[in-house]
């Protein structure tokens, strides 16, 4: 697919874009449909957005697919979401691989079904050499929990004598996060008009630009991604420095 004229006019894209995909339930409710319909339509938006990000030259795209707090939702809705995840892993990996996209999953896998964990491991292994785009899915993920686990890992290394407490710095902490080896996001987008980050990439997003858009996730696509990137390029990123 050819890029739109608008996309051709954009400056080089940010290296890493992260998206909080919000609004599936409201999209369905506004149409008198069950929440499941919103989640299914949201899965189509994932496909469109991944394709657009790859074509626009984004190197890393992280999607907040299922938070650690989402386990509190009704069991039937969680089961539906896990079913959609299974379908995605079963049906989309071949297409990702064909298009040179690497898949990486971050989060607490111990709460996922064993079959889902196996599919994730197989997909990561199959796509690990791809370089067109790295798609990071945050599943059973929470930013605070990630930092706690990183601290536990650091503490174990110190206790074992393989790490001195004197050398612990931001680089050491970053190396113990789920996102080790992945650059911090330049841009975090949240759909549906909500203006919070909801426990997403708390450490990594320290200097990310934030863009909040009214569009509900099932309606998100190339045009909305281009709009967010245009907003990003209007920002003056000083990282705490003076003008």
- So which residues are the catalytic ones? 22, 70
73 is in an annotated binding site: yes
- Residue 71 parent element (H or E): none
94/51 Cα distance (integer angstroms):
14
222 is in an annotated binding site: no
The half-sphere exposure of 32 on its side-chain side, counting CA atoms within 13 A, is 0
23 is in an annotated binding site: yes
71 is in an annotated binding site: yes
80 is in an annotated binding site: no
For CA atoms 114, 183, 202, 21, the dihedral sign is: negative
24 is in an annotated binding site: yes
22/192 Cα distance (integer angstroms):
6
Strand order in the sheet with 133-141: 101-106, 133-141, 60-67, 16-20, 187-190, 209-212
164 is in an annotated binding site: no
Tell me the sheet residues that pair with 187. Answer: 17, 209
203 is in an annotated binding site: no
25 is in an annotated binding site: yes
68 is in an annotated binding site: yes
Residue 211 φ then ψ, to 5°:
-125, 120
121 is in an annotated binding site: no
Do strands 16-20 and 187-190 pair parallel, antiparallel, or not at all (unpaired)?
parallel
130 is in an annotated binding site: no
Label residue 224 exposed, middle or buried (CB < 10 Å: 0-12, 13-18, 19+): buried
Annotated binding-site positions for Mg(2+): 22, 209
**Which residues are known binding-site members?**
22-27, 35, 39, 67-69, 71, 73, 190, 196-198, 209
Annotated binding site for substrate: 23-27, 35, 39, 67-69, 71, 73, 190, 196-198
């Amino acid at each position: 697919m050819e890029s739109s004229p608008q996309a051709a006019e954009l400056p080089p894209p940010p290296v890493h874009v992260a998206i909080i995909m919000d609004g599936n339930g409201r999209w369905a409710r506004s149409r008198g449909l069950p929440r499941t319909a919103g989640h299914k339509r949201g899965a189509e938006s994932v496909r469109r957005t991944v394709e657009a990000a790859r074509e626009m030259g984004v190197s890393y795209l992280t999607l907040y697919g299922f938070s650690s707090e989402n386990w509190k939702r009704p069991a039937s809705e969680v089961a539906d979401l896990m079913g959609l995840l299974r379908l995605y892993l079963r049906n989309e990996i071949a297409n990702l691989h064909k298009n040179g996209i690497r898949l990486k999953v971050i989060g607490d896998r111990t709460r996922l079904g064993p079959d889902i964990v196996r599919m994730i491991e197989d997909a990561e292994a199959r796509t690990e050499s791809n370089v067109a785009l790295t798609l990071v899915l945050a599943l059973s993920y929470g930013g605070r929990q990630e930092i706690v686990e990183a601290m536990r890992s650091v503490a174990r290394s110190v206790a074992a004598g393989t790490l001195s407490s004197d050398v612990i710095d931001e680089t050491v902490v970053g190396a113990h996060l789920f996102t080790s080896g992945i650059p911090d996001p330049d841009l975090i987008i949240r759909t549906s008009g909500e203006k919070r980050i909801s426990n997403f990439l708390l450490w990594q997003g320290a200097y990310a630009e934030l863009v909040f858009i009214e569009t509900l996730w099932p309606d998100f696509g190339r045009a909305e991604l281009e709009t967010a990137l245009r907003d990003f390029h209007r920002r003056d990123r000083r990282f705490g420095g003076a003008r």
